[in-house]
Amino acid sequence: MMRRMKFSHTLFALIALCISFGVSPCLAKSSQVNATELSEVATHPAKMDWWLDDKFGLFIHWGPSSVASVEIGWARASHPFDHQGKLELMPDAEYDALYKQFNPVDFDADQLVRTAKAAGMKYLVFTAKHHDGFSNWATELSDYNSMNAPYGRDICKELADAVHKHGLKLGWYYSTRDWSHPDYLVGDNSQYNDYYHGQIRELLTNYGQVDVLWFDHVAGKWSDYRFEELFEMIYELQPQILVNNRAAKFVFRHKAGTPTPELFALTKGDYETPEGKIGNFRVDYPWETCMPMSKGPDGHGGWSYRPEAVTASFEKCAQMLAACVTGGGNMLLNVGPMPSGELRSEELANLKALKPWMQTYGESIYGTRAGPYVSGQWGGACHKGNVIYLHVFEWADGQLSLPTLPRKVLHCEALGGESVSFTQNADALTIRLHESKMRSLRRTFKPTERSLHRVLKLTLEPGADMALIPVEGHVAKQQHGTLVNPMCE
Ligand code: GLC
């Protein structure tokens, strides 16, 4: 078994070293794999096209926990069937009563969606229910919901309507973990299965088109769940929906029996979800980094509103997005609205700053695919048609030298209008930023955030297939995670 796994990892590594690029034979000194074989591996179902093109979504963690400025879910003292985490705890009764004060009178779903859209976000994922069990919609299956808070409104409905009105895609975050539900993992768990299947049915029936179902972890054994029935219902209600990889995630951890290969394939969903970090370079399987824009001062949590959290700079947000896109992934950037319903000023300022950034650099994000260069500390690349975009994070004396491209570079410009020059020979492609400009950039940005981030647009002579090009000193790591079938372990 071990041997077979090692082989499959090597195969994945090889696959990741090559992509189909729609241009000419590769001249670069890099591993190459037959493009026909590759295109099969790298093919995703057509229903993923929009998601692969759109790249950037807004994640929203919000609920009554914001009233007490504590971390959503995790601040509740009891976490049945889960670890305790490292956050400040509040007695269950106190946490569970917070909704009685939840009255976000300044919440304006339309405004929030317009802000996200202006920031270049194309989809939105909202915590319909987090681990604490509170439902942000008019569920008929539990009284612990937003209709029974002083606010008395269906927050999911308001967001869904705004998202549809403004042409974004809609996603529900749904935590299968439920630390306040009396039936959760009790007996054969059948009552709880009925409950959460019923809730998913509501969310996929009453809010128009739903594009993403973003599950978040669950404990227990495989036999505690009726996943086949769940997924059948999901696809019946929303045939085009994308489902993340967490519907059964952590079931594996609990020495919980072995799923059939079919069940494993079903519950691994459509994409992986590296959390709080940029996913590793990977072009053979879709992934999305979920990233809180603000982090708890101790480095923990920060998904929901906590006034003491530290918010990343706007430059950092843009760079993280670029790192995801050039690494083959999407980014779901999280905000945690305040109890009033508004965004904290730092998070709002970042979203506003992304608007002009996107106007200049958006073409290097949307509709692109990662490569041909393999990402590293230097930055990364993505491509579209005969154009390659380089997102460069590090410059040595205003200069970047990469292995040459197999096709002639006809033109090189820096998006945003700085002046650049380049040379291309049999070994290297070298790009220089104008020196005086580099000096002024050094003064303007903090090097710790690597804000020398610049986007170069290379226009290439038309051609055929191109393999991925490793950049010396930067090795592409593979993310193993849930792609590894637990049956092989
Ligand atoms: C983790 C946390 C949760 C958060 C999620 C976002 O699973 O438990 O609080 O909602 O990550 O990815």
Q: From the CA of 71, give the closest atom in ligand 1.
A: 9
Q: What percent of the chain has pLDDT over 90?
A: 71
| Confidence category of residue 85, pLDDT binned at 50, 70, 90 | confident
pLDDT in tens, 270-316: 999 999 999 999 998 999 999 999 998 777 889 999 999 999 998 89
Of 70, 177, 275, best ligand 1 pocket probe by most atoms within 8 Å of the beta carbon = 275
Tell me which of 18 and 232 has the higher pLDDT: 232
* Residue 164: exposure state from Cβ atoms within 10 A (0-12, 13-18, ≥19): middle
Work out the average pLDDT over 111-135: 98
Q: Is 80 exceeded by the pLDDT of residue 32? A: no
Q: What percent of the chain has pLDDT over 70?
A: 83
**pLDDT value at residue 37:** 35
Distance 216 CA to ligand 1 centre (A): 7
Instruction: Give the number of the atom of ligand 1 that is nearest the alpha carbon of residue 72.
Output: 9
241 lines ligand 1 (CB under 6 A): no
Q: Say what the pLDDT of residue 385 is.
A: 93
Q: What is the mean pLDDT of the chain?
A: 85
Q: How far apart are CA 158 and CA 161, in angstroms?
A: 5
pLDDT at 419: 85
| pLDDT, tens digit, 9 for 90 and up, residues 38-66 | 333 456 889 999 999 999 999 999 999 99
- pLDDT: which is higher, 4 or 408: 408
- For residue 439, name the pLDDT band (cuts at 50, 70, 90): low
Q: Give tens-digit pLDDT for 255-265.
A: 667 888 899 99
- Cβ of 328 closer than 6 Å to ligand 1, yes or no, is no
pLDDT confidence bin for 467, thresholds 50/70/90: confident
C-beta of 154 in contact with ligand 1 (< 6 A): no
Look at 110-114, 428-432, 436-440 and tell me which has the smallest mean pLDDT: 436-440
The model's confidence at residue 346, banded by pLDDT at 50, 70 and 90, is: very high
All domains in the chain, ordered by first residue: 7-271 (3.20.20.80), 369-483 (2.60.40)
> Is residue 226 lining ligand 1, measured as CB closer than 6 Å?
no
Rounded distance from Cα 384 to ligand 1 centre (Å): 33
At residue 102, does pLDDT exceed 90? yes
Residue 258's pLDDT is: 81
Q: What is the pLDDT of residue 422?
A: 97
Residue having the nearest C-alpha atom to atom 5 of ligand 1: 216
Backbone angles phi, psi at 154, to 5 degrees: -90, 100
Q: What is the pLDDT of residue 83?
A: 85
User: Does the Cβ of 82 fall within 6 Å of ligand 1?
Assistant: no
> With 60 as the cut, is the pLDDT of residue 360 above it?
yes
With bands split at pLDDT 50, 70 and 90, how would you rate the model's confidence at 479? very low
Q: Quick one: pLDDT at residue 418? A: 80
Identify which has the larger pLDDT, 142 or 2.
142
Q: Residue 451 above 80 pLDDT?
A: no
Local confidence band at 466 (pLDDT 50, 70, 90 cut-offs): confident
